[in-house]
């Protein structure tokens, strides 16, 4: 009984946390990569950032009336919060009407030259979109699409117009 009283009375007082060191700064996109493999009928996206993220979105659009939004999630975050790597893989169904958000895309690999893409990331603690990159046929298209982020950070990613039909 005395040990119980001693254990309870000699415990150090809790101090106020001075903030979370891992979420002190907003993430920034360092690189974006994407690929469309016609043989496996699959799109792949990878976004590397400084600092942890709260995930993000990948948008694919042919025009203002035909756009897809998919969630991209963390695949490999640094234990110290200094970086994050987000990945997304989308299948290409035989019938474009079978495409499902976050799982598959209606567009074929041969459509790449006609498409515009955008990657956005959220801060680890939330608070909305912290950074974005856009590339493709019309990087200004996002102002015309409902609920799309107006990204003005355009990057050049080489697009192979000789992609096989799938």
Q: Tokens in use for 110? A: 């041969």
Question: For the domain 25-144, what is the CATH code?
Answer: 2.60.40.10
Q: Tokens in use for 98? A: 């079978």
Write the CA distances from 155 to 17, 32, 85, 117, 135, integer angstroms: 40, 9, 18, 10, 5
CA 134/CA 153 separation, integer angstroms = 6
pLDDT tens profile 24-66: 689 999 999 999 999 999 999 999 999 999 999 999 999 999 9
CA-closest candidate to residue 62, choices 133, 3, 4, 112? 112
**Can you give the pLDDT at residue 127?**
75
pLDDT tens profile 99-150: 999 999 999 999 999 999 999 999 988 779 999 999 999 999 999 999 999 9
Q: Is the pLDDT of residue 162 over 50?
A: no
**Can you give the pLDDT at residue 9?**
56
Domain extents for the chain?
25-144
């Amino acid at each position: 009984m005395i040990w119980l009283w001693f254990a309870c009375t000699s415990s150090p007082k809790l101090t106020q946390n001075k903030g979370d060191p891992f979420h002190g700064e907003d993430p920034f996109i360092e690189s974006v990569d994407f690929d469309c493999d016609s043989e496996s009928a699959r799109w792949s996206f990878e976004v590397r950032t400084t600092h942890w993220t709260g995930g993000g979105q990948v948008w694919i659009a042919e025009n203002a009336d035909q756009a897809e939004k998919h969630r991209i999630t963390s695949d490999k975050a640094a234990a110290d919060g200094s970086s994050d790597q987000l990945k997304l893989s989308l299948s290409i169904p035989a019938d474009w009407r079978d495409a499902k958000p976050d799982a598959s895309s209606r567009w074929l690999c041969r459509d790449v030259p006609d498409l515009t893409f955008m990657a956005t990331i959220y801060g680890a603690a939330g608070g909305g979109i912290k950074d974005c990159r856009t590339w493709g046929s019309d990087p200004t298209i996002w102002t015309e699409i409902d609920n799309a982020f107006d990204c003005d950070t355009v990057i050049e990613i080489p697009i192979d117009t000789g992609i096989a039909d799938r």
